[in-house]
Amino acid sequence: MKNLTLTRIDDRLIHGQVVAFWMKEYSIDKILIIDDTLSKDMFMSRIYKAAAPAGVEVLLLDREEGLAFLKQEPTEKEGIFLIVKVPERIEELVNAGIEIPRVILGGMGARNDRKTFNRNVSASKSEIECFSRILAKGTHIVYQMIPSDKPIPIQNFIE
């Protein structure tokens, strides 16, 4: 099974906080995005690949391919940054036996079915339930925009 250097929930995927802060803090050479819609969108795939910093490979996979990739043997010195848009993707991976010790909650934009959760995170009822189920599996979820922010366990917002 692959080792994940960082795991983040962020619906803007690869953006300023990710590129200008997180990627500087950790040595990352692969960004793995698991998203069924995006993986089929040729235009957006090319945008994400072109927008990644030099020397960083972007893998845009659907759920099945993503899981298959994470189940492969790890290679030495591989730094993988998993980014997904919604907590459900994390839950599926955890349920499939992928080890994710810690998830960083970055941003989830406001939508009609979502309520503001904390600052730049909005979540629907079912998403909050999903957070709880992930927590119950022993995976930590912390709210943290950039590395210098203090990580706040999301239990603080749920309970």
Partner 1 sequence: MSILQAVFVALLYYLCNSTWGLGVGWWTLMRPLVSGFLTGIILGDPTTGAVVGAQINVLYLGWIGAGGALPSDIALAGVVGTALAITGGVDANTAMALAVPVGLLGSIIWVTKMTLNTGYVRLAEKYAEKGDTKNFWIADTLLPQLMLFLFSFIPCFILVYFGASHIQTVLQFLGDKVVNVLSIIGGMLPAVGIALTLKSIFKGQSIIFFFLGFLLVQYFHLNSIAVGFLSLVITIVYMQINYMINPVKASTDPALATAKTEKKAFVLLDKRTIRRSWFNWIMFNQSNYNYERMQGTGFCRAMLPVINKLYPKDPEKRAERMKLQMQFFNTEPQWGACIVGLTAAFEEKKAQGAEDISDEMITSTKTGLMGPLAGIGDTIDGGVITPLLLSLFIGITGTTGNLAGPIGYIIVEAAFMWSIYWMSYKLGYEKGSEAILNFLESGRINQLILGASILGCMVLGSLVGNFVKLNVGINIPVGGDQIFNIQTQLFDAILPGILPLLLTLGCYWLLKKGWTSVQVILLLTAVGLAGGLLGILA
What would you report as the CA-atom Rg of the chain, rounded to the nearest whole angstrom?
Answer: 15
> Where in 1-60 is the site for partner 1 (CB under 8 A)?
11-21, 24-25, 38, 41-44, 46-54
129 binds partner 1 per the rule CB under 8 A: no
102 binds partner 1 per the rule CB under 8 A: no
Separation between Cα atoms, residue 39 and residue 129, nearest integer Å: 26
62 binds partner 1 per the rule CB under 8 A: no
Neighbours of 121 (CB within 10 A): 22
Scan for tokens 């907590």, then name that residue.
Answer: 87
- Per DSSP, the three-state class of 8 is strand
Select from 71, 149, 153, 155 the one that contacts partner 1 (CB under 8 A). Answer: 149
Which run of H or E residues covers position 119? none
Contacting positions for partner 1 (CB under 8 A): 11-21, 24-25, 38, 41-44, 46-54, 107, 109-111, 116, 119-120, 122, 145-146, 148-149
